[in-house]
Amino acid sequence: MASSDEPRHPPLRSFGRIKSRAIKPRQAALFDTLLPGIALPDPKAGPIDPTALAPDAAGVWLEIGFGGGEHLAEQASRHPDVLMVGCEPFLNGVGSALRHIDERGLKNVRLHADDARDVMTALPDASLDRVMILFPDPWHKARHNKRRLIQAETAAEIARLLKPGGVVRFVTDWTDYAEWALEKFRRTPGLERVGSPGDDWTTPWADHVITRYEEKRLGDTTPLFMEFRRV
């Protein structure tokens, strides 16, 4: 048995590359001008209090892996009274999100350009109204399943962070990941599934935002939607 005072190993990376092509000049400039003002405090430096970031916010939503930021920016635009927290380690995606935020003049968004799990650890209990996980890296080969974002530990952490009545939304276009996530969430104390009409997994929520990534249909199925509520 490992000693309790031995250093803990960090979790396996649940995401792939953090950069592909060169970041466009305009987006690169926003890393210097816009990002410093909307970046979350360093989660490794201590706890993060969302109420201190936006005292007047009607709620706090977290998007884990916001891709190019289309969904995050649109939801922030629709809900200006909600603090939108977005985490994304892929720097090209962060650059795209910064462009969306700048063009829309959004004031209710905070970003973390790295692993969302660090932010989750730094947030207090019952601090989030909604967690959104749209099309996370599928790691669909069996030997890579351990790298999936949704694990028993992650689901338990989400349950800890949600306020009573708060929801986690999960979307994937890989059948086996949908089944995997369903099993993990169902086994998590404090979470109950919210059924869709007819329990049709392919029915999106009324306020769902379709992104360019979703339109590519890169998985093995049409997008599958599931939602769990904190009880």
Task: Return the pLDDT at 197.
Answer: 60
pLDDT in tens, 78-126: 999 999 999 999 999 999 999 999 999 999 999 999 999 999 999 999 9
Of 131, 154, 126, 118, the closest CA to residue 46 belongs to 118
For 51, the enclosing helix (H) or strand (E) is helix 50-53
Average pLDDT, the chain: 90
State the Cα–Cα distance between residues 164 and 191, nearest whole angstrom.
Answer: 10
Name beta bridge partners: 225. 171
- CA 214 from chain centre, in angstroms, equals 15
Q: How confident is the model at residue 9 (pLDDT cuts 50, 70, 90)?
A: very low
Task: Return the pLDDT at 141.
Answer: 73
Q: Is the pLDDT of residue 191 over 50?
A: yes
Q: Which domains does the chain have, with CATH numbers?
A: 25-230 (3.40.50.150)
pLDDT in tens, 62-89: 999 999 999 999 999 999 999 999 999 9
Catalytic residues: 137
Q: Are strands 109-112 and 162-172 parallel, antiparallel or unpaired?
A: unpaired
Mean pLDDT value of segment 24-35: 95
Of 78, 81, 113, the closest CA to residue 95 belongs to 113
Q: Is the pTM of this model over 0.85?
A: yes
Q: How confident is the model at residue 195 (pLDDT cuts 50, 70, 90)?
A: confident
pLDDT in tens, 114-172: 999 999 999 999 999 999 999 999 877 777 689 899 999 999 999 999 999 999 999 99
Q: Is the pLDDT of residue 15 over 50?
A: no
- Looking up tokens 């792939």 gives 16
